[in-house]
């Protein structure tokens, strides 16, 4: 699993890299984030009853080489 390659701020939700990437080893990381508000939902017909509201987002993080104005390539 690649979950250790990223970290997420518990309060802010900001996603940060937690490792150095090598685009020759792996070019894409697919990330799924689930957030919940931590309190039982007041929404009618919420299932399962008494559980927090949740939101889910999936995205792809693509790793690319960066070329400087001097022609040097860096990660």
pLDDT digits (tens, 9 = 90+) for 28-49: 999 999 999 889 999 998 899 8
Q: pTM for this structure?
A: 0.66
As a whole number, the mean pLDDT across the chain is: 86
Domain that holds residue 29: 3-41+49-74
Residue 11 in this model has a pLDDT that exceeds 90: no
Q: Please give the Cα distance from 30 to 2 (Å, whole number).
A: 9
Q: For the chain, count helices (H), then strands (E).
A: 0, 6
Name the pLDDT band for 18 (thresholds 50, 70, 90): very high
Residue 64 in this model has a pLDDT that exceeds 90: no
Question: What pLDDT does 66 receive?
Answer: 72
Total of domains in the chain: 1
């Amino acid at each position: 699993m690649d979950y250790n390659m990223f970290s997420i701020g518990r309060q802010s939700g900001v996603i940060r890299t937690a490792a150095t990437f090598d685009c020759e080893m792996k070019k894409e990381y697919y990330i799924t984030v689930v957030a919940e508000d931590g309190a039982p939902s007041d929404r009618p017909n919420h299932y399962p009853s008494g559980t927090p509201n949740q939101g889910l987002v999936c995205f792809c993080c693509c790793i690319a080489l960066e070329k400087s104005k001097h022609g040097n390539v860096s990660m």
